[in-house]
Amino acid sequence: MSGKVGKLAYKPVGLLLGVGAGMVAGVVFKEVWKLAAGDDDAPDATDEDRGWGEILAAAALQGAIFALVRAAVHRGGAVGVRKLTGQWPD
């Protein structure tokens, strides 16, 4: 498989992996927030009853979890593509 074809073939796979990573990250964040804050619901930025610290902490935690899960899923997908095609997707 040529480099251009491999890149093109990985695009839909990468898109699906990104959507799946977002869903997994959402579930992981909810569970981590329950453990960390003892609250079933994470605060929204417009939640009037929550303070700045809690809202910013939740946003930072959510962003970190999303980035970690996304990187792990995309890296795993790239490794899988290389095993299948012999080419590393760029």
The reply to whether 90 falls in a domain is: no
Q: pTM for this one?
A: 0.80
The reply to whether 30 falls in a domain is: yes
Cα separation, 61 vs 55, in Å, equals: 10
Per residue in 74-88, pLDDT tens?
899 888 888 888 888
The reply to whether 73 falls in a domain is: yes
Total count of domains within the chain: 1
DSSP for residue 43: P
The reply to whether 55 falls in a domain is: yes
The reply to whether 81 falls in a domain is: yes
The reply to whether 52 falls in a domain is: yes
- Polymer length in residues for the chain: 90
| Residue-range definition of the domain harbouring residue 11 | 3-85
The reply to whether 77 falls in a domain is: yes
The reply to whether 60 falls in a domain is: yes
Residue 68, both tokens: 């970690």
What's the pLDDT score for residue 72? 93
What's the pLDDT score for residue 6? 62
Q: How far apart are the first and last CA of the chain?
A: 13
Asked if residues 89 and 26 have their Cβ atoms less than 8 Å apart, the reply is: no
Per residue in 16-71, pLDDT tens?
888 999 999 999 999 999 999 998 889 999 999 999 999 999 999 999 999 999 99
